[in-house]
Amino acid sequence: MLLVLWLKDARHGLNMPPGPLQWPVVGSLPSFALIGGKNPLAYLKSLGDKYGGIFSMKLGDHFAVFISDYHIIKEALVKQGSCFSTRPPTAMDAAIRGSSQTRHGVVFTNGRVWQVFRRFAMQSMRDFGVGKKSIEGKLQIEASSLIQQLEKMEGKPYNPNPDTQVAVTNIICAIIFGERYEYGDADFSKIMDSMRDLAQSVQFTDLRSMFGVLSLLPHRENFKRLIAADNHLKTVVKRQIEEHRRTLDDVEDRDIIDLCLRKQAGDGEDATLFNDEQLSHFIADLFLAGAETTATTLGWAYLYMAEHPEIQEKCFQEIYNVLGDRPPTMADRSKLPFVEATISEVQRIRTIAPLSVLHTTTQDATLRGYSIPKGTWVFPMLYAVSADEKQWKQPADFNPERFLDASGDYAKRESLIPFSVGPRMCAGEMLAKMELFIFFTMLLQNFRFSKNSPDQKIDLDPILGITWSAKPQTIQLTRR
């Protein structure tokens, strides 16, 4: 029987990368379910190690290639970027961003719509201060509000993540809507709930994405939650677009929505592309991509600081010696190498987009001598690169020193790729890095993060949703 299956395996005829046994109809899903079990990512990493950094599987009706080796990821996503940088239609993005012909937004689109909106996203973030001094002030104010909020819970067991999510989302709100919300604001709480549902309701392993035919069936509960959350976010955005249209003046651009409305009022291609429907998806995408990710990373940083008080103390001493009580600016980054190394180590050990966002091939390709047919799903296994023994000594250890050179300066490591690489790499990397640096530094300057009691076990096992987040748990914050 196994021999028959092996002989019938379509990969051999196609010279595709090797991989686990494939069954008729269900492909490699039984291996996933039976061997991968509760920890599919550990299973996938073991396959990456076994097959030399690249392997293939059939997931329902799709051929999929998984890449766990840094050099092969670069070869595919950078060297052959034009072939490996398309997004395939999956049930998840079809449910919220439309069918492949009419897909909206920036994260899941391709071709001209993607090009225009990616360029516009990056340019408009720069226009509103990202990468410049002008956003530093906003980041400092938002971090100060977060500190005031966290102070209320000083000395009590507390989960600082929901408040952190508010602070980070407020930065996106400032850039997109030109306003921030207060903690506890009812409208804002609903936006937060929607974003949490968007991040947690569906996993990449959802069978609806694997078998096209299942998308004909009525949606299950998790998909209903996903759609409801996205609709709520788009409704908030549409209200903001209307309000901005009513109050738009010729004097200044207040935020990204104003810039979008000016494009809409222009002529030619812009006027068609920047229609209201497209804008609400585009802006919902920026929320989805930009808020949960940074807040989740900070959430991991708090837990790792509580787990490693000696590393936290070293960060604090460096901050205290260089800054004293004044808030950090981006110019201070090079003077705080241990802090920067610690942030990098958090991003390495908990790579929050473990499988990046799904890619596909636009034409037949060759990678490391293997054939990759057009339309193959491509999973860049960013978490496996972060845990690769060929790249990192004892990768399971939390050790910021790996990002320092012999003279104690920060040493960039090429294989740290939490933002992915190539034409589809994160469009908000610069903003995320600024947020992580200013928030992390200001929080450590003001609080000590510790366990609730010496025998508390911090749970560092991630939960897999769209991102890899920490389980909700409490720690203690003490004012410095």
| Binding-site residue ranges | 426
* Minimum gap (Å) between residue 95 Cβ and ligand HEM: 18
Binding mask 80-109 for ligand HEM (x = CB under 6 A): --------------------------xx--
* Strand ranges, E, within 27-162: 54-59, 62-67
- Copy the structure tokens of residue 280: 């609400």
Given 80, 149, 169, 293, the residue binding ligand HEM (CB under 6 A): 293
Express the helix, strand and coil content of the chain in percent, nearest 5 each.
Answer: 55, 10, 35
Regarding 441 and contact with ligand HEM (CB under 6 A), the answer is: no
Q: Is 294 in the site for ligand HEM (CB under 6 A)?
A: yes
Residue 62 or 433: the one with the smaller Cβ distance to ligand HEM is 433
Least gap, CB of 129 to ligand HEM (angstroms): 13
Total binding residues toward ligand HEM, as defined by CB under 6 A:
24
Among 71, 118, 368, 448, binds ligand HEM (CB under 6 A): 118
List C-alpha distances in Å: 264 to 90, 257, 271, 307: 29, 10, 4, 50
Q: Which of residues 272-291 bind ligand HEM (CB under 6 A)?
A: 286, 289-290
One-letter amino acid for residue 283 of the chain: I
Q: Which CB sits closer to ligand HEM, 35 or 78?
A: 78
Instruction: Tell me: does residue 129 bind ligand HEM (CB under 6 A).
Output: no
Taking the complex as a whole, how short is the minimal distance between the CB of residue 420 and ligand HEM, in angstroms? 3
As measured in angstroms, the least distance from the Cβ of 125 to ligand HEM is 7
Tell which positions 297-326 bind ligand HEM, by CB under 6 A: 297
Q: Does 199 bind ligand HEM (CB under 6 A)?
A: no
C-alpha to C-alpha distance for 313 and 55, rounded to whole angstroms: 42
Helices (H), 177-291: 186-200, 207-210, 221-247, 256-265, 269-273, 276-290
Cα separation of 441 and 459, whole Å?
23
Residue with smallest beta-carbon separation from ligand HEM: 428
Q: Which of 410, 393, 390, 296 is nearest to 346 (CA)?
A: 296
Q: What does the alpha-carbon distance between residue 285 and residue 125 come to, in Å, rounded to a whole number?
A: 14
Question: In the range 365-424, which residues lie near ligand HEM by CB under 6 A?
Answer: 418-420, 424
* Feature table: binding site for heme: 426
Residue from 59, 284, 353, 384 touching ligand HEM (CB under 6 A): that is 353
Q: What distance in Å separates the CA atoms of residue 424 and residue 426, rounded to the nearest whole number?
A: 6
Is residue 68 within 8 Å of 384, Cβ to Cβ?
yes
Question: Which SS3 state, helix, strand or coil, does residue 468 take?
Answer: strand
Using alpha carbons, select from 177, 168, 173 the residue that is nearest to residue 139: 168
Residue 155, both tokens: 């000395």
Please report, as ranges, the residues that interact with ligand HEM according to CB under 6 A. 106-107, 118, 121, 286, 289-290, 293-294, 297, 352-353, 356-357, 418-420, 424-428, 431-432
